[in-house]
């Protein structure tokens, strides 16, 4: 009995810790989420500012720049072997410091992996558009809001 209570308490603690690092997206914003390849999103990114999107990518850049105390900048890449002129496309992303360990666990080179879908919000700064990453895992709460985490 004590062992059972321990495992239930441990499960609740892990679930609560996961929610602490999760981002909640309200049901209306989540309803219109579209998935894009990196090249397709780059073409329409200006039209998607403020929207949550799913990005299909295969690896991240090795270099990450710390742009503020709690934000880092990097690139997400997608390999396209059919395009001989430009076989890889990238898009600029920003990652919160709390999400950095999960982002760093993504591969840094293309090794024939299938694409991963990463969710983020398209935003614009003085340089260009970028995607503020939210996570890869999605759960829905009773109100149909999306809880996005790594």
Average of pLDDT values for 123-133?
91
Residue 37 has pLDDT above 80, yes or no: yes
Contact 104, 95 (CB under 8 A): no
pLDDT of residue 85: 77
CATH architecture for residues 24-149: Beta Barrel (2.40)
Q: Please give the Cα distance from 25 to 21 (Å, whole number).
A: 13
pLDDT tens-digit map of 58-85: 999 999 999 989 999 999 999 887 777 7
The percent of residues above 90 in pLDDT, for the chain, comes to 63
pLDDT at 1: 59
| CA gap 57, 76 in Å, rounded | 6
Q: Give the whole-number percent of the chain exceeding pLDDT 70.
A: 85
Give domain limits for the chain.
Answer: 24-149
């Amino acid at each position: 009995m004590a062992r059972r209570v321990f495992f239930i308490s441990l499960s609740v603690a892990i679930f609560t810790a996961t929610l602490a690092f999760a981002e909640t997206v309200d049901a209306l914003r989540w309803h219109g989420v579209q998935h894009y390849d990196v090249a397709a999103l780059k073409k329409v990114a200006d039209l998607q500012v403020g929207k949550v999107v799913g990005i299909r990518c295969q690896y991240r850049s090795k270099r990450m720049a710390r742009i503020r105390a709690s934000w880092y900048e990097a690139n997400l890449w997608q390999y396209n072997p059919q395009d001989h002129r430009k076989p890889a496309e990238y898009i600029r992303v920003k990652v919160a410091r709390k999400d950095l360990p999960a982002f760093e666990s993504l591969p840094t080179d293309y090794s024939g992996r299938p694409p991963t879908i990463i969710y983020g919000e398209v935003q614009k700064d003085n340089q260009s558009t970028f995607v503020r990453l939210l996570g890869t895992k999605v759960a829905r709460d009773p109100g149909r809001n999306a809880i996005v985490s790594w």
